[in-house]
Chains A and B, each alone.
Chain A
Amino acid sequence: MAWIVGVAKEIWGLFVDDIGLAVASLVWVALIWLGARWLGEAAGPALFAGLALILLTSALRRAGQ
């Protein structure tokens, strides 16, 4: 059982370091998914801009601690 928990932790750690970064990225992707039709050609730039802002915010938050 401990071995399975260990493997699960390692896999989780591959994708999630800062939970805020991961959750915010997923929420932003979901919002773009919902609004892609309405956004039209702006959906791509909006997806990138949001992700870049989320990354910057996460790094700045850590730097300020």
Chain B
Amino acid sequence: MTIDLAHAGPPALAAFLASTVEFVEALTVVLAVGGVRGWRDTLFGAAVAVLVLALLTAVLGPALTLIPLRMAQVIVGVLLLLFGLRWLRKAVLRAAGVLALHDETAAYAKERELMLKLGARASGFDAVAFGAAFQICMLEGTEVVFIVIAVSAGGAGLILPASVGALAAFLIVTALGFVLHRPMARVPENTLKFIVGVILSGFGAFWVGEGVGVDWAGADLAILGLVGGFAVVSLAAVPICKLRAARAAEARA
């Protein structure tokens, strides 16, 4: 099956951006755990999680092609929509100053403190380091796997570009982690979440629409319209939410 760039590009970009956010969050914890408890078992835990996730993707991705396309689109579309709208809502509220921005430096310091509280590491296998790295990589990685599978729901051939996007994010973040050896606090996480939320909501609405019998004008190009629409609404929502929050604060004062 061949796919052109117009079809492969959006899933690859969505998977790349979303995965970057998740990998940056995982890297912060891995760096904190490795820095305190040593690298051997921390990296071992992260590697095992990556292996488990790769197996999950290899099994779940092709399994999607076994269920009827329309049903897959409804299921994946609904999940993608809920996931995308959740990210978008949070990004809007953070941009409006209603919720605090995610701070990688603070998350790093908090994880380091937790690791230090757990005491000296054992001389042999360090289950704490392994467990902490495995858990965060599984958690963030599960989100990546879901995103890769979800943005590929439109066709069996789309899993490859989406996987390439996620893999590129993994390699870039890992390489930067090795080079910098500190959390990537300067990554504009909320901006990325905003963009990804817009893209995922657009994809989700499209797949769900396809599944429930919506006849989209412009066929697949409607995705661009949906993404643009969610972007406009979300950007407009930021100042409105800011104003609403200010008025609510005044009323409380």
The interface of chain A, by Cβ under 8 A from chain B, is 10-11, 14-18, 21-22, 25-26, 29, 32-33, 36-37, 40-41, 43-44, 47-48, 51-52, 54-56, 58-60, 62-65
Q: With CB as the reference atom, state the residue of chain A lying closest to B215.
A: A41
Question: A64 — which chain B residues lie within 8 A by C-beta?
Answer: 244-245, 247-248
Return chain B residues, CB-CB under 8 Å to A14.
83, 86, 142-143, 146
Q: CA of A54 to CA of B84 in the docked complex: distance in angstroms?
A: 13
Q: Which residues of B contact A (CB under 8 A)?
A: 78-79, 81-83, 85-86, 88-90, 92-93, 96, 98, 139, 142-143, 146, 201, 205, 208-209, 212-217, 222, 226, 229-230, 233-234, 237, 240-242, 244-245, 247-248
Q: Tell me if B244 and A60 are in contact (CB < 8 A).
A: yes
Instruction: Tell me the complex Cα distance, A52–B225, Å.
Output: 13
User: How many residue pairs, one in A and one in B, have C-beta atoms under 8 Å apart?
Assistant: 111
| Pair B234/A32 contact, Cβ less than 8 Å | no
Cα(A47)–Cα(B201), bound, Å: 12
Q: For A22, list chain B residues within 8 Å (CB).
A: 82, 86
Query: Which residue of chain B has its CB nearest to the CB of A65?
Result: B248
Q: In the complex, how many angstroms separate the beta carbon of B36 from the nearest chain A beta carbon?
A: 23
Closest to A62 in B: B93
Contact present for A37 and B85 (CB under 8 Å): no
Question: What would be 5 A-B contacts, judged by CB atoms less than 8 Å apart?
Answer: A10-B142, A11-B142, A36-B213, A48-B229, A63-B98
Q: Which of A17, A43, A60 contacts B214 (CB 8 A)?
A: A43
Distance in angstroms between the alpha carbons of A64 and B247 in the assembled complex: 8
Whether B85 contacts A51 by the Cβ 8 Å rule is yes
Please tell me which one of the listed residues A15, A21, A32, A56 contacts residue B212 in the complex, with CB atoms under 8 A apart: A32
- C-alpha spacing A49/B90, complex, angstroms: 20
